[in-house]
Chains A and B, each alone.
Chain A
Amino acid sequence: MASQSYELELFPNCKVTLALFDGVENCQDLKRCIMEGKVDAALLNVSMIIEPFQVLVSANKAFHVQQHGKMKTRNINSEILFNLSPTNNISESFKRFGVSNEDKSLLAVVLNDSNGEKLQRLTEQVEGTRIDMNQLKDFTDEAKIKKVYKIQDTELTNSTLLDAVICRMATKDAS
């Protein structure tokens, strides 16, 4: 499927749409547009994403903190980037989980796009091709993920990489 939409059980009126782009030529421009508030989406570094569930966990938390007025970043899209990070350093989370200038692919997260308009607009902004979400795993860089999330092989003897990542994302605020 070219894009996938999900509904969150805890936020039944909120929709999360994921779309994967490859052959992207204008990441540098897109980054600038984000800063200028012209992009209504979170653009993620695909290599750091294992599965859509990881993004949904982040989006879920983003909706939750937004509802309670406790966002740490400027808007809900940047909050999604921040929630993916294992640390509380905001700029680090943007650098690690957002797109970089040289990136040729990206994972877009569009929120509450009931009629597909937002995704349509985004597709026009991105100079690249939308590809099937099933290809997401081809971009995942496990070694980098282990390094950024500081996951040792000891933990992986009894756990999947995804669970190790999710647990860190979920327990970041404690301690």
Chain B
Amino acid sequence: MEPDGAPTSSVGQTCDVGELIKQGAEARVYSTTFMGRPTIVKERFKKKYRHPTLDKKLTHRRTTREVTAILRCRKSGICTPTVYFVDYESHRIYMENIENSTTVRDYIASEQKETQETNPETLVSLAQKIGTLLATMHDNDVIHGDLTTSNMLLRQPVDSSSPVVLIDFGLSSVSGLHEDKGVDLYVLERAFLSTHPNTENIFEHILVTYRKKSKKSSDVLKKLDEVRMRGRKRSMIG
């Protein structure tokens, strides 16, 4: 057991939890097996700079929020990793490791490269899948909190029927507010457009599908417009 939040192992090293594959600001991600199944262990470590009681409470809350969001999304038909076990003592979530998959981020890059187009048909259909997924998620009042194309996976081989798998619900919450949903979409928009050049059209397809499939889309999209107006170097007039 790690004594405090300081990382004592580096990426690639194996310890008793498994092999460390990612170190984030809030959690470490390990790869291991659980009853023979390839598994990811997400461990939220202690923050020494916080008061211990507060730290315990916050970490517990974040852990429960994450698994609640996963289950809620699953119930509405969204593909997510299966949660196998939650260790509330050491704040570890053991969940399915989606193997043989590619991130949507890598997929977009490879499709654009292969077809030498910015809007290949495959990406338009991917955009529709994403739009549908987001509409379903928001209609169930789940805010992902960290929507990026790295948090969306596609199981290989990728074809027209492959569903998008949504991962990393570490910042998620439950909210019915249009504002929160609008911000959720804005986060994706910024991540999308900055990661993938010349994909304004693809992202537009996502929003068009979202508008069609979500029951409360017009209010949310209105909020999205408002949120776009905010931020650095943006005029709040008009």
Q: Which residues of A contact B (CB under 8 A)?
A: 6, 8-10, 53, 56-57, 60-61, 64, 68, 152, 154-155, 157-159, 163-164, 166-168, 170-171, 173-175
Alpha-carbon gap, A20 to B134, bound state (A) = 44
Query: Which listed residue, A57, A60, A164, A173, touches B74 by the CB 8 Å rule?
Result: A164
Q: Which residues of B contact A (CB under 8 A)?
A: 32-35, 37, 63-65, 67-68, 70-71, 74-79, 82-89, 94, 96, 163
Q: Are A157 and B86 in contact (CB under 8 A)?
A: no
User: How many pairs of A and B residues are in contact by the CB < 8 Å rule?
Assistant: 73
- Which A residues touch B86, using CB under 8 A? 170-171, 173-174
Alpha-carbon gap, A171 to B85, bound state (A) = 8
- Which A residues touch B89, using CB under 8 A? 64, 68
Q: Are A158 and B78 in contact (CB under 8 A)?
A: yes
Q: Are B35 and A53 in contact (CB under 8 A)?
A: yes
- New contact pairs (5) apart from A158-B77, A171-B67, A174-B68, CB-CB < 8 Å: A9-B32, A64-B89, A154-B76, A171-B86, A173-B64
Q: Are B87 and A64 in contact (CB under 8 A)?
A: yes
Q: Please give the distance in Å from A146's CB to the nearest CB on chain B.
A: 13
Q: Please give the distance in Å from A23's CB to the nearest CB on chain B.
A: 30
Q: Please give the distance in Å from A64's CB to the nearest CB on chain B.
A: 7
Q: Are B77 and A167 in contact (CB under 8 A)?
A: no
Q: Are B35 and A166 in contact (CB under 8 A)?
A: no
7 nearest A-B pairs in the assembled complex, by CB-CB distance: A174-B64, A163-B82, A154-B77, A170-B83, A171-B67, A158-B79, A175-B68
Q: Are B74 and A6 in contact (CB under 8 A)?
A: no
